[in-house]
Structure 1
């Protein structure tokens, strides 16, 4: 196991790479004008075939036909599908695996888990330092679970987004409800799943479905004061305008939705969002993407959102900060060409490292996605991206 790299060391590595677009730092661009070309500053990867040692078998429902050269089932749980991220203060990160193998039916032996990882950006590697399984020992879930020991699986919930509250507990966004799930630091569910009023996924038996499958809480952000959650759906609720997504506000003190809601407009109705993170009390970063991978990937973008609606169109304002298919890379970081592309079907993690630097990770959908090399399963990649302009983020976000 490699040593843990402190956050300061990560920052030094990023700066040492020296791969900037040559655009000086400035204030955040005015509404409507995007940032310049962002730059790749560091690259690391966790091999696709990484497993939790001495864990439970997994992937039985996949059969035995090779997928991208990988033959299921697996003797252990794969470390895969990073769909949410939390930055720690020591250079490590908590990352959330999604529901497993793509749907409720085939993921009953995939254990939901928060992994702790440490990128070694000088070596281009990612260490897995441990993690916790998500469990329900106190029987907070009101419906039957897959496992009698109440370890949660990908057939119970489709977890896609995560934040850490001021008390060290975790809030996780689910797509099967959609629900908000509250866990302690050991991964134990603290309260019953919190449903979103009036919205029902196909997997939710409590109402008539009005949201597509796997279209629930793909994005979850916490305000800088740690008092409020903001959950962004991945899909359009039936009856809403095409390509619009609901951003819902949830008050942590009362444990209830406030009733406040904003509208995010996708560039195209067939796009999806991949993650959401707060910049300050009014602004967020969001990943918007198409469903393509490799040469078919056309849209993988990070936008800066503003819920103050400066143009009064009734929707969140959007400013492009980074095109992940066109990152400057004149020094060929990671051995890649200039420009660098991040051509994955699902890019589901963005976190702020400093006022001009983001970390971005993919969900590799192990063993199915092959966006980097056709016919080979994608690794979990960890990149850092330098913006041409400052975010002017709330200082509490940068701690």
Structure 2
């Protein structure tokens, strides 16, 4: 039976909204283990053969000597995996392309490495072709393609500027969204924020700075922005607030690029509890001049992915900053948080929107959503050891950053596991890369 969720007003000027909550049933579950590494190309600089050397307070070149943890705010739980790594971590997926390859595999993107521009100069950037096998419960990585700039298309100095191969790293871009069109990849970046046009072999073909209302958008990590530049004046994009989702609209070739966090106003504060969506024309390789708004639901702080399911309707992942099962939440004021979650997952939704239906202020209409913390599993599809002790299956990860339509009744969802800094499934263990197949016929047919 469908539930009706009354959403509270997001601001005094916005009337209360009603939004339908649709059921979701687990139809498949597959895992790519957290500790999955890939070997750098033979022509990569020697520095890139060991990654994660700069994730602490000082350089550390001794592999596997410092165990990762989820951070003090999340209980400080260790994850059982230590830095630096020999090789490059495949890590969590930060975006799925709507269009698949000829063999049916999914184009999936790994993000900038270890979470920031400063700590990721030895983290290589790449995308993959992934094949989740829901019969075996395993995910096959069929190909990994490394991003590089041999033709000097990147308009600023990159970390590997002086090398012949010019492989890109997490000090250059933070790739978070990906689309595949006519044999090329389009990648949305968080630092610029930029849109990158990339050849199938990983070569950068062009880089496009974001334009909104005739002005270039910038963030604190955009090349050229330096302290003491002022938030809201010298830059409007929040740190880690660039393109988390970038949907490709069928038939038009338009990229609908959605910022992860609200823009900053002139006072340096958030302009509101909504996200900007800016459209880019892949045919002209230029911004259209149009922009729209996506309203976050109460408790949501960011989005994770954005993909069309037809000409106008699209799926958006919205989330809070929590991770872990709410039934294991720490008691208020608990001093011992070793066996509980101080900030459990509360809001993890896949929202269906109608981009063709917008109000006078440009807000895209929300049709309804499924709750990723309440997934029915009557056939026991959850993999052994990952089933809840009681209640429905859930996907309680900090960053859930992948959603795409599979067919008329199913969607694919996956997480970014922020290796080795996120847990979520089990205290004391790094989160795996989990892919779930969800049966959601009512959501996909809603209008």
Residues 233, 246 of structure 1: 8 Å contact kept: yes
Select the residue among 48, 57, 60 that pairs with 2:50.
57
State the Cα deviation string for residues 344-368 of structure 1 (Å, max 9, x = none). 0000000110011000000000011
Aligned to 1:102: 115
Residues 408, 441 of structure 2: 8 Å contact kept: no
Aligned to 1:301: 349
Distance 1:312 1:332, change over 3 A: farther
Distance 1:376 1:244, change over 3 A: same
Residues 282, 307 of structure 1: 8 Å contact kept: yes
3-state SS in 2 of match to 1:127:
strand
Aligned to 1:28: none
Distance 1:74 1:89, change over 3 A: same
Q: CA deviation at 1:96?
A: 0.5
Q: Using the alignment, how far apart are the partners of 2:376 and 2:360 within structure 1?
A: 34
Q: Using the alignment, how far apart are the partners of 1:57 and 1:310 within structure 2?
A: 48
Greater CA drift, 297-306 or 316-325: 316-325
Unpaired stretches in structure 2, ≥5 consecutive residues: 3-16, 42-48, 69-78, 226-233, 326-343
Distance 1:155 1:310, change over 3 A: closer
3-state SS in 2 of match to 1:193:
strand
Q: Using the alignment, how far apart are the partners of 1:232 and 1:374 within structure 2?
A: 32
Distance 1:226 1:189, change over 3 A: farther
Residues 38, 385 of structure 1: 8 Å contact kept: yes
Q: CA deviation at 1:280?
A: 2.5
**Alignment size in residue pairs:** 366
Aligned to 1:172: 187
Return the TM-score normalized by structure 1: 0.86
Q: Using the alignment, how far apart are the partners of 2:310 and 2:51 within structure 1?
A: 40
Distance 1:205 1:314, change over 3 A: same
Q: Using the alignment, how far apart are the partners of 1:311 and 1:354 within structure 2?
A: 30
3-state SS in 2 of match to 1:191:
strand
Residues 91, 418 of structure 2: 8 Å contact kept: yes
Aligned to 1:369: 422
Residues 299, 320 of structure 2: 8 Å contact kept: no
Greater CA drift, 184-193 or 135-144: 184-193
Aligned residues: CA RMSD: 2.3
Q: Using the alignment, how far apart are the partners of 2:358 and 2:276 within structure 1?
A: 18
Q: CA deviation at 1:57?
A: 1.7
3-state SS in 1 of match to 2:357:
coil
Larger radius of gyration between Structure 1 and Structure 2 = 2
Q: Using the alignment, how far apart are the partners of 1:270 and 1:201 within structure 2?
A: 22
Alignment partner of 1:247 is 2:267: no
Q: Using the alignment, how far apart are the partners of 1:39 and 1:352 within structure 2?
A: 15
Unpaired stretches in structure 1, ≥5 consecutive residues: 1-20, 23-30, 394-399
Select the residue among 225, 250, 255 that pairs with 1:224.
250
Residues 81, 100 of structure 1: 8 Å contact kept: no
Aligned to 1:15: none
